[in-house]
Amino acid sequence: MSECLNGQLASLPAGALAPDFSLQQAPHAHVALHSLRGYPIVLVFYPMDWEPVSREQLRLYQTYSDDFARFGAQVLGISTDHVYSHEAFAHDAQIRFPLLADFEPRGSVARQYGVFRDTQGASARALFVLHPRRIIRFGKVYPDALNPGVDELLTTFEALT
């Protein structure tokens, strides 16, 4: 799934099984979605490191890390940037949750979730909340210039408990 003829994305709907993946977090470390089974997950697809809205969005999620932890949730940031860009960006922005490199093949996970923008060669800004059994409970694509905030995420987690 990717961009439709009208330029809209066809992301995976609520109720669908989230595709499994394994992405690089550090030069010699990967994170596999199936290894996090049993925990609610927030997948944060964002266009690129160092982009101002992405920085603001990811810093906000870091600020709310205690709220996510209260629900036992793991936040995973995903973009098509290289792992070395993620390391430098996370250090600079003081982000402590994993940033995963959907780098090679470029955007393969974003494509599986229906949020890859072929025209930009990058992920759209999108959020998914996964039930501990990998069922999508919330999914939404946002305009790249919009920080989606935390309200919809926290509301979804409150509904899951």
Contacts of 31 (CB under 8 A, 6+ apart): 22, 23, 25, 76, 98, 100
Structural domains of the chain sorted by starting position, each given as residue range(s) with its CATH number in brackets: 22-160 (3.40.30.10)
Query: Coil, helix or strand for 104?
Result: coil
| Amino acid in position 130 | L
Each residue's pLDDT tens digit, 101-121: 999 999 999 999 999 999 999
pLDDT digits (tens, 9 = 90+) for 77-89: 999 999 999 999 9
Please give the C-alpha separations between residue 66 and each of 60, 78, 82, 102, in angstroms, as whole numbers. 12, 20, 28, 26
Cα separation, 144 vs 141, whole angstroms: 9
Pairing label, strands 74-79, 22-26:
unpaired
pLDDT digit string, tens, across residues 112-156: 999 999 999 999 999 999 999 999 999 999 999 999 999 999 999
d(C-alpha 92, C-alpha 84), whole Å = 12
Whether 115 and 45 have beta carbons less than 8 Å apart is answered as yes
